[in-house]
Chains A and B, each alone.
Chain A
Amino acid sequence: MEHHLVLRVVSKLIIPPILLFGLYVQFHGDHGAGGGFQAGVIIAVAFILYGLVFGIPRLLRVLPWRFIRASMAAGVLLYAGTGAASMLMGADYLDYAPFGATPVEGQHLGILLVELGVGITVASVMLAIFIAFAARLPSQIKDEEW
């Protein structure tokens, strides 16, 4: 990728806004359009773009494989754990009402946590699928052949 100055500079310029937009979609999900699924994909796209331009080995230095695999599970655990927490606080599974002073406040916090879990899992699963396929290429296409 040594020759692709334009690609490198442009992708470095747009990766931070993509991440920022992903976070916006993530946390704005309960006010407007958005939520964990969409945000997860957008955040994964930022890293996939990085991997496409700078290569999988450098992507894996930013996000080690162990970390990706652990966060796939961590998102599910956060979701299920939120439900378990509501059970421990005396409500039904995934009933977020006891999380806040008022039921509405509790629902607000609960849905935020659950959506965060969804976002983490979706982002890491998208990345894992991309890396699983991309890392199988026997030898990457040489720079001179671009």
Chain B
Amino acid sequence: MIAGATAGFIAKHLPVLVVLVPLMAAPACLITGNRHATWAIATLASWTSFALTVALFIRVAGQGPLSYSLGGWAAPFGIEYRADALNAFILPLIAGIASFALPYARGSIGRDVEPRQQNLFYSALLLCLAGLLGVTITGDVFNIFVFLEISSLASYVLVAAGGGRDRRAFKAAFDYLIMGTIGASFFVIGIGFLYMATGTLNIADLAHRLATAPADRTVRMAYGFILVGIGLKLAMMPLHQWLPNAYSYAPPAVTAFLAATATKVSLYVLIRFLYTVFGLDDPFEAQTLKLLVMPLGIIGIFAASTVAIFQNDIRRMFAWSSIAQAGYMLTGIALMTPQGLAASLVNIVNHGLTKGALFMAVGMLTLATGTSRLSDLRGIGRTMPWTMAAILAGGLGLIGVPLTAGFISKWALVSAALDAGQWWLAGAVLLSSLLALGYVWRIVETACFGKADETRVIEPVPLAMVIPAWGLLAVSLYAGVQPALIMEGANAAARSLLPHLTGVGG
């Protein structure tokens, strides 16, 4: 009876509960104060919201889009939460990564944040999670901006939390704050133009009105501002300068969480605006994607991978690799075919899983040795074989070796490029894998063939870090061996966005 009523309650309010659970747990953490209790609340909240996102995904896959009106105000006027094939596909990734990052944070956060401030840290992490989930699920463009600000402000705090160990984190957080705020301002200016042109903020209503009205200069301005604003948030090539420092100096749990979710959610927002809101019927919009975003994506892949090869800091190396990976996702989006879009979506999930696991493993390495500089890590493969094996497995995923998740996403992108007749893009993607091989090889070379430093002190790594890191790595390896679920989800999402181009998909 009670179980049935609870299930009915959850089913009715599913879209809002996904956001509400972490959003209410965050102030609860602030009040509780005790760091063990706050950790328990935060972990429970993230697991609950992961379960809810999975339930939402299953329900949307079975029954189609789900709409929820906040405050009982009907859709175009009130705020609508809308789960469809696209965002129901992204939501489990965000909550899932948080479910791994929180146990991991318990083992690692003692190095960065003093005990009596740890409740603030967990509170900020939950706010960031709530913000990212909110951005993804809402069907209202201004609400996207509000949640984007919640998650961004929380993530500036999270990056600055690394300042307890390395004071450079403060400057990294400040740079991130300035760039992120400029991005958010551009985004909200774009929304302002859209509102001026259409008089609505609801995504479905916007899409309908923009599709029926001829695109004028106001709409094109909105398009430009939103593209640049979100480009900043997702570290599109010339707008990426905030990312390497932020990822290098943040606490390890934060780097793993942000690298796997924050830029991915920004990519989701970009896809949502390009394909749902703007629809790309206007030649200006389509040409911008083809002549600006596509080249920037390819330049990003090559330039960032090349820079990664020459990094001495292992975390910074993988941060640059994240910029290169954003390039792959942008090129997939810019292909403007269902296959290209599906390839980007597969890459969002697969790279999120791989990079999350990779940054967790690197965090274990830096915690044990006290350094992340390659020149100080010679021969570390002999002292820490398992951790290095985890990093290598993640690195192979970045290269795109068969049987890894990275192979699936590269394969999807290459076949999408070939389907679209862009053989040169397929060639570029394959060629760029050699660059990834370059930086992963540098780690292998240093770790396995360097002369070990006999005096090095290796500190034990807490089990609370080892289990989540290997767990996430196992998930990413599983995604490489059994790609069907993720491929199907991505194809369904791509088809729902491009119904007039029903290709075979993948």
Contact = CB atoms under 8 A, between A and B. Distances in A.
A116 to B, nearest CB: 15
Contacts of B70: 92-95
Contacts of B72: 91-92, 94-95, 97
A83 interface: yes
Interface stretch (B25-33, B58-66, B294-302): B25-33
Given A80-B20, A93-B20, A95-B72, A87 B31 contact: no
Contacts of B9: 87-88
B13 interface: yes
Contact of B69 (A69, A77, A84, A92): A92
23 contacts: A69-B30, A70-B30, A72-B27, A72-B30, A73-B27, A73-B30, A77-B24, A77-B28, A77-B31, A83-B20, A84-B20, A87-B9, A87-B13, A87-B16, A91-B72, A92-B13, A92-B16, A92-B69, A92-B70, A93-B68, A93-B71, A94-B72, A96-B71
Given A80-B20, A80-B23, A83-B20, A94 B71 contact: yes
Contact of A77 (B27, B68, B71): B27
Given A70-B31, A87-B13, A92-B70, 8 more contacts: A76-B27, A80-B20, A80-B23, A83-B20, A84-B24, A87-B9, A92-B13, A93-B68
Taking residues whose C-beta sits less than 8 angstroms from the other chain, chain A's interface range is: 20 to 34
A74 interface: yes
A98 to B, nearest CB: 10
Nearest to A94: B71
Interface in B11-64: 13, 16, 20, 23-24, 26-28, 30-31
A74 B27 contact: yes
A88 B31 CA distance: 23
Interface residues of B, number: 16
A81 interface: yes
A81 B13 contact: no
Interface of B: 9, 13, 16, 20, 23-24, 26-28, 30-31, 68-72
B71 A95 contact: yes
Interface centre among B20, B27, B70 (most CB of A within 10 A): B27
B189 to A, nearest CB: 23
A88 B23 CA distance: 17
Contacts of A97: 72
A87 to B, nearest CB: 6
B24 A81 contact: yes
Contacts of B20: 80, 83-84, 93
Given A93-B16, A93-B71, A80 B30 contact: no
A36 B384 CA distance: 56
